């Protein structure tokens, strides 16, 4: 019989906990390590819709990228947001486990999927993990043959589950670039690393007005980073979930575990509609 502890051990081999950032929360949030597991369901977020999907499918282990309990809570009462999720999971016999920044840093992780979609070559971490082997760390930077920023955005759009907000370009869409940095998830804090890596284009998510404007101004004044692509957090990271599920399925089977592994159909992007310039029509997801 495969139990929660067995699946946790496989996850630890694939996405070692020591690669997580100090501020992060990774690992088992809900569940009994000795409980049996027959079905692992994989998703980006442990949202209510995802948990309901796991319940409907009869899963007993929910693997996500984002943590259920990233920041401290003072109550897990059933009528609170986090408490409601915890109660539903326990009542349904579902363990909940996540790999977050450890899955960002590991080889083959979130940013490597983006690098593969963009067909980057000579890929290196944007920030090398101080306690890991060479090549392991947050973000990726690599090279392409001279390609326009617009073509890079199209390549990205064809390789991810594009949200209703689409892809935003900062800088000149027609400019050619050869060196690109990528970071799955919120990338405001990594502008310095992208410049240090001599990236001409930085592809990431959740860019705020002032840091993005200042980055473009710095590039216009002779800095290496002249162009930005902002893709939704969901689109950037959900592309990794099928790969994670495949890796988990293969590792479980190699270890002699007969466990079903499925991937969520839920889009957990929070935005459902946009109004485009010069348009009176709603664009629905």
Of 64, 68, 66, the closest CA to residue 29 belongs to: 68
Q: What pLDDT digit, counting tens, does each position of 49-104 carry? A: 999 999 999 999 999 999 999 888 888 888 888 989 999 999 999 999 999 999 99
Cβ proximity of 219 and 226 under 8 Å: yes
* pLDDT at position 284 over 70: no
Q: What angle do CA 76, 78, 83 make, to 5 degrees?
A: 35
pLDDT, residue 47, reads 97
pLDDT exceeding 70 applies to what percent of the chain? 97
Sorted by where each begins, the domain ranges of the chain are 4-103+240-263, 110-236
Cross-strand pairs, 222: none
Q: Which two tokens stand for residue 40?
A: 């692992």
Q: What pLDDT digit, counting tens, does each position of 2-18 carry? A: 999 999 999 999 999 99
Q: What pLDDT digit, counting tens, does each position of 191-201 carry? A: 999 999 999 99
Of 103, 52, 72, 109, the closest CA to residue 268 belongs to: 52
Distance between first and last Cα of the chain: 42
pLDDT, residue 283, reads 56
Q: What pLDDT digit, counting tens, does each position of 205-224 carry? A: 999 999 999 999 998 888 89
Cβ proximity of 180 and 200 under 8 Å: yes
Q: Which of 3.90.1150.200, 3.30.70.890, 3.40.1390.30, 3.50.50.60 would CATH assign to domain 4-103+240-263?
A: 3.40.1390.30
Q: What pLDDT digit, counting tens, does each position of 224-254 carry? A: 999 999 999 999 999 999 999 999 999 999 9
Q: What pLDDT digit, counting tens, does each position of 28-44 carry? A: 999 999 999 999 999 99
Q: What integer is the mean pLDDT of 254-279? A: 91
What is the widest separation between alpha-carbon atoms in the chain?
62
* pLDDT at position 120 over 70: yes
Q: What are phi and psi of 40, to 5 degrees?
A: -105, 125
Q: What pLDDT digit, counting tens, does each position of 40-58 carry? A: 999 999 999 999 999 999 9
| Band (280; pLDDT cuts 50, 70, 90) | low
Q: What integer is the mean pLDDT of 251-261? A: 97
Q: Which two tokens stand for residue 22?
A: 């100090």
pLDDT, residue 93, reads 98
Q: Which of 3.10.180.10, 3.40.605.10, 1.10.3720.10, 3.40.1390.30 would CATH assign to domain 110-236?
A: 3.40.1390.30
Express the helix, strand and coil content of the chain in percent, nearest 5 each: 35, 25, 40
pLDDT, residue 75, reads 85
The reply to whether 4-103+240-263 and 110-236 are identical in fold is: yes
């Amino acid at each position: 019989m495969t139990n929660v502890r067995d699946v946790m051990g496989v996850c630890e081999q694939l996405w070692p906990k020591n690669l997580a950032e100090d501020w992060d929360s990774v690992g088992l949030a809900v569940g009994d390590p000795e409980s049996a597991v027959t079905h692992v369901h994989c998703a980006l977020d442990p949202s209510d819709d995802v948990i309901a999907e796991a319940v409907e499918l009869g899963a007993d282990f929910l693997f996500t990228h984002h943590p259920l309990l990233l920041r401290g809570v003072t109550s897990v009462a059933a009528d609170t947001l986090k408490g409601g999720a915890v109660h539903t999971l326990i009542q349904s016999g579902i363990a909940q486990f996540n790999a977050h920044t450890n899955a960002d840093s590991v080889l083959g992780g979130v940013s490597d999927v983006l690098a593969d979609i963009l067909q980057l070559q000579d890929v290196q971490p944007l920030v090398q993990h101080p306690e890991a082997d060479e090549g392991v760390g947050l973000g990726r930077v690599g090279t392409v043959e001279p390609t326009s920023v617009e073509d890079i955005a199209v390549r990205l759009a064809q390789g991810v589950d594009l949200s209703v907000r689409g892809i935003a370009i900062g800088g000149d869409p027609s400019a050619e670039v050869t060196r690109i940095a990528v970071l799955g998830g919120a990338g405001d804090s990594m502008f310095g690393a992208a410049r240090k890596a001599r990236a001409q284009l930085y592809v990431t998510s959740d860019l705020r007005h002032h840091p993005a404007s200042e980055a473009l101004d710095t590039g216009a004044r002779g800095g290496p980073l002249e162009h930005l692509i902002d893709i939704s957090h969901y689109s950037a990271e959900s592309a990794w979930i099928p790969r994670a599920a495949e890796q988990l399925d293969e590792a479980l089977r190699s270890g002699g575990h007969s466990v079903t592994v499925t991937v969520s159909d839920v889009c957990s992007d929070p935005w459902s509609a946009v109004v485009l310039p010069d348009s009176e029509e709603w664009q629905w997801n």
